[in-house]
A and B are shown apart, each in its own frame.
Chain A
Amino acid sequence: MIEFGGVSKIYGGPLGRRVTAVEDLTLAIQPGEVVGIAGPNGAGKSTLIAMLLGYVAPTSGEIRIAGEPPRRWIERHGIGYLSELIAIEPRWRAREALVRYAVLAGIREREVGARVDAAIDRLGLGEHRDKRVRALSKGNLQRLGLAQALLREEAVYVLDEPTHGLDPVWTQRFRGIVGELRGPGRILFIASHNLDELQRVADRVAIIDQGRLQRVVDTRAGGSASGAMTYRLVIAEGADHVGTSFAGAIRVADNEWELPAITVTVLNDGLSRLLSLGGRVAAVMPARSALEEEFRAAIAGADADAGGGGGGGP
């Protein structure tokens, strides 16, 4: 289990400007869970992950992995970690980098070659295996970073912006990899700006802004906490009746409207009215995912509450 207990991180000293990157954050992640973390730039995600890896010490509060301080646990067990910044020595060749990480990961000498080649195949890096790291494209570098995190089976994976720079094919394959990694006793902690991605792969998503945990969304529950969602309505006929059927509808194209934050009951009442007035509906779909709705509400709430603090981090 991973526990963040009232964790705060304040950068800056008595002589410099103090910046609160994370403030009194409490969160527990159980084995078997895939937990996402979302927030705008500077929300404190990177600092939170740096503290979880033991690269930055909290100013107050504590972090525990299976009851131990992060560094002590990681130095004994290791962690599958993909950082947002893929920092691998540019002189190394792709396969060489994986061999080095495999040695440091404790993979036995006789298994290193097979494990590395399996990771190369899994991430589609076969044709790039002998290229120097500095010659890899952003997407291939991202896959190399992912490959080193997947060299061996870990109890904890921390993936920071895992689909950043990946093309749609590899973004989809990443979902498959998360599905393969998901398992009892294993924790996946995924930070991403891509709410759609988190909605698909995570069980819960912690939304942080201005260093504070704003809310934790259960993505498996479906729908937002308030039950209200924004829909997109496309009609075939009866454009004149949309406004009278849905208060607050915003026209976004000739035959397309956005229906902001309405419940399922309000949606159906409006559709009935529209149909009874002679309108014909071509399509109705959520304009944003439930997670996106929650995210917007959380950020708006944080902005309204903001009286101090601020994001920032390494």
Chain B
Amino acid sequence: MNRGRLGAYALWQIRDFTLQRGIAIAIIGALFLLQVRLAVSGFGAAGVDVRMLATELLGPFLLIASIIAINGIISSDRRQGHFRFLFAKPVSMVRYYLQAFAVHGAGVVAATALFLLAFWWMSGAAMPARTVLYSVPAFMLLGGLGFLFSAALRNDWILLAGTVVMTQILRGRYENESGMVATLVNWLLPPLHVFGDMRRTLGMGGMPETSAIVWPIAYGAVAIVAGVVVLRRRAMAG
């Protein structure tokens, strides 16, 4: 008997991502770009730094795009029962969802590139090409957490959004403090704080420190591994 052609199925996953989540991300991107247009036309020659504006907008854009991209990646199949026919075929559940994660991640990177191209077309200010790279650690961290939450729970996007908000609050509270709690907050919570500097450095054509890139990627990778463990252990039905 043949094994399932999971690689070929990636084309269907790309199609699904583009037609469903891609459109939603495009609408969000358009709303952000509208902000840019209003800012540019409003301030005019008085001079708003449009590059800095784009750099700052990239953060919330990627946060929302990542949430849209990862929302329900596993939990919606479980909730709606789609797993029943999918995984009666000779395919690995783990490989199927890791491939979906990769497709969605590539979609977010592509959406970021399109966002920056549209920004260039609209404002005339070109961002450095490497700014696109910002989307890789950002999606690895947010997408990895979303993957874990989706493997474990039904309302994964709420948990992901809540985690982001709580992390920002706790990091803000303990940022300049020392002690056990501050150390735990600093090392255990998702390293969202590295993204601000990373965006600005990339936006100015520089290269962030390696540790600032590796930390969120490693954190996201650990979350993905934990998600795989949960996926293997947790019942799909019931």
Chain A contact residues, CB within 8 Å of chain B: 11, 47, 50, 53-57, 71, 74-81, 83, 85, 87-89, 100-101, 103-109, 145, 148-149, 152, 154-155, 158, 313-314
User: Which residue of chain A lies nearest to B79 when distances are taken between CB atoms in the complex?
Assistant: A87
Using A100-B9, A313-B238 as known contacts, list a sample of 19 further A-B pairs with CB atoms less than 8 Å apart, ordered by residue number in A. Answer: A53-B87, A54-B87, A56-B235, A74-B88, A78-B89, A81-B85, A85-B84, A87-B84, A89-B80, A104-B9, A104-B89, A104-B91, A106-B2, A106-B4, A145-B85, A149-B88, A155-B1, A158-B88, A314-B238
Provide the B1-38 mask, 1 if CB < 8 A to any CB of A, else 0: 11111101100100000000000000000000000000
Give the residue name and chain of the B residue nearest to A154 (CB).
B1
Asked if B86 CB lies within 8 Å of chain A CBs, one says yes
Residues on B with beta carbons closer than 8 Å to the beta carbon of A100: 9, 12
A71: which B residues are within 8 A, CB to CB? 93
**Smallest CB–CB gap between A86 and chain B, Å?**
8
The CA of A76 and the CA of B1, in the complex, are separated in Å by 8
Known: A55-B237, A78-B1, A314-B237. A101 touches B82 (CB 8 A): no
Q: How far, in whole Å, are A53 and B84 apart by their CA atoms in the complex? A: 9
CB distance from B153 to the nearest CB of A (A): 16
Could you say which residues of chain A place their CB within 8 Å of the CB of B90?
Answer: 74-78, 104-106
B83 at the interface (CB under 8 A from A): yes
* B85 adjacent to A109 (CB under 8 Å): no
Q: Is B81 an interface residue (CB 8 A)?
A: yes
* Interchain CB contact under 8 A, B85 and A148: yes
Q: A83-B81, A85-B84 are in contact. Are A105 and B236 (CB under 8 A)?
A: no
Distance, CA A210 to CA B96, complexed state (A): 36
Q: A2 CB to closest chain B CB, in angstroms?
A: 14
Interface string of B65-99 (1 = CB under 8 A from A): 00000000000000011111111111111000000
Closest B residue by C-beta to A90: B80
Taking a contact as CB atoms under 8 Å apart, the answer to whether A109 and B2 are in contact is no
CB distance from A80 to the nearest CB of B (A): 7
> Is the pair B82, A89 in contact by a Cβ cutoff of 8 Å?
yes
**A53 / chain B contacts, CB cutoff of 8 Å:** 84, 87-88
In the complex, 17 of the A-B residue pairs with CB atoms within 8 angstroms, ordered by the A residue number, are A11-B238, A50-B235, A55-B235, A71-B93, A74-B87, A75-B92, A78-B90, A81-B84, A87-B80, A87-B84, A87-B85, A89-B82, A101-B86, A104-B89, A106-B5, A155-B1, A314-B235
Kindly report which residue of chain A lies nearest to residue B76, judged by CB atoms: A89
Find chain A residues with CB under 8 A from B86 CB: 101, 104
Considering the complex of A and B, which 10 residue pairs feature the smallest CB-CB distances, nearest first?
A87-B81, A106-B2, A81-B88, A314-B238, A78-B90, A314-B237, A104-B89, A55-B237, A55-B236, A83-B84
Chain B residues closer than 8 Å to A47, beta-carbon distance? 238
* B3: contacting residue among A54, A106, A152, A155, CB under 8 A: A106
**Contact (Cβ within 8 A) B82 A88:** yes
Chain A residues whose CB sits within 8 angstroms of the CB of B12 once the complex forms:
100, 103
Nearest-Cβ distance from residue B172 to partner chain A, whole angstroms: 35
Q: Which residue from chain B places its CB closest to the CB of A81 in the assembled complex?
A: B88
Q: What residues on A are CB-neighbors of B92 within 8 Å?
A: 75
Q: Smallest Cβ distance from B82 to chain A, in angstroms? A: 5
Closest CB-CB distance, A312 to chain B, in whole Å?
Answer: 10
- A88's closest neighbor in chain B, by CB? B85
Contacts of B87 in A (CB 8 A): 53-55, 74
User: How far is the CB of B29 from the nearest CB of chain A, in Å?
Assistant: 23
Residue of A with least CB distance to B80: A87
A149 surroundings in chain B (CB, below 8 A): 88
Residues of B within 8 A of A54 (CB): 87
Cα distance A103–B83 in the bound complex, in angstroms = 15
Residues of A within 8 A of B6 (CB): 104
